Amino acid sequence: DAKTTQPPSMDCAEGRAANLPCNHSTISGNEYVYWYRQIHSQGPQYIIHGLKNNETNEMASLIITEDRKSSTLILPHATLRDTAVYYCIVRVISGYSTLTFGKGTMLLVSP
């Protein structure tokens, strides 16, 4: 699976949009971009995934650049409960479910 690069930490004011970047310049054509988050002392939680089109669900939006070398996870109205470590992962959807986690971005949402 391709390697990803994320900033180690970011801050966001409550109610504002949180934009979390991820660089995956070596991504292959059949690799998807996944985002998970881990709130302190809990297991990781799936957020969203995409291949090349922008995606949106009830939790977040995923914007993937046209060359697919980077992406941005957008939390439109961050709340204190969104404080967590956010992991960007690229992987092929295959018979294996293996996720390769990097160090992620620690997002701190403040009042």
Partner 1 sequence: KAGVTQTPRYLIKTRGQQVTLSCSPISGHRSVSWYQQTPGQGLQFLFEYFSETQRNKGNFPGRFSGRQFSNSRSEMNVSTLELGDSALYLCASSLETSNEQFFGPGTRLTVL
Judge contact between 62 and 33, C-beta under 8 A. Answer: yes
Both tokens assigned to 74: 């957008």
Instruction: Specify the residue, 98 or 111, whose C-beta has the smaller distance to partner 1.
Output: 98
Q: In whole angstroms, how close is the CB of 14 to partner 1 at the nearest point?
A: 26
3-state secondary structure at position 82? helix
- Which parts of this chain interact with partner 1 (CB under 8 A)? 32, 34, 42-46, 49, 87, 93-104
Tokens describing residue 94: 């295959």
Measured CA to CA, the distance from residue 88 to residue 22 in angstroms comes to 6
Q: Which is nearer to partner 1, 16 or 103 (CB)?
A: 103
87 versus 90: smaller Cβ distance to partner 1: 87
> Would you say 41 or 111 has its CB closer to partner 1?
41
- Token pair of 83, please? 């404080």
Q: Residue 104: helix, strand or coil by DSSP?
A: coil
CB of 95 to partner 1, least distance (A): 6
Closest distance of CB 80 from partner 1, Å: 21
